[in-house]
Structure 1
Amino acid sequence: MDSVKQEYAVGPVQSFLPQIGRVVTAGNLELAIFRTSDGAFYAVENSSPHPKGGPLAEGIVSGHYLYDPLYDWKIDLRSGEVQAPDHGTVATFPVSLDGDIVKVSLQQAVFQS
């Protein structure tokens, strides 16, 4: 099994407001994209790692941390790791800029027979 990196254009830079999450679809995934106050972009799967789940796009961003809107879990946007005393991980995806277009990369498994 190999993997292929697939890039998805998800919108122009100006459509992502600082510290406000935006829901986008890339492939078959719903992602939450965040632009931090320092201009960095982060993409996470729009699903809380909390056992009861829930969306993350409505969370509060402070620095490079996201506070889950339903459970107030603190999640590192760089690694997807939930901070102690809670635990869990949310999937993160690389974000790049192509001029003024925001792109997200997904790894897809390719099965060869």
Structure 2
Amino acid sequence: MTQFTTVQAEEFERILGFFESSSLIRTELTSNYSDTVIDRTLSILDELVSIDNLLKESLETSFVQESRGSKLSYRSHVAHLKSEGTRLLIELGRLLRVGVNYNKYLPNKKCNPTAAYW
């Protein structure tokens, strides 16, 4: 069993939308996790960085892009990236047992109403 560092716990808080530090959430994030969970959460962080970079790139070049010989529209490409980001955030929240308080990929929707009770 391994623990995340304080810096990693703060990063998870930020990514999952907990902008005010909560001792309950911090305690959960600094508890012991299996090596499998640690590896998957770090992998999700890398994937989220890639999605953020692709979103930034697609916003800068809002024209039709080619993908495997077929054309994707800007709107559907961005929607796909946001959907994948949402999926990864939900998986991350479940792995860490804290849920998602704010989803930056779908900013107008509530993600985890139970998180407010912590």
TM class, shorter-chain normalised?
A: under 0.3
More strand by share: 1
TM-score (norm 2): 0.22
More helix by share: 2
Q: Which has the higher contact order (CA 8 A, sep 6+)?
A: 1
TM-score (norm 1): 0.23
Specify the structure having the higher radius of gyration (Cα): 2
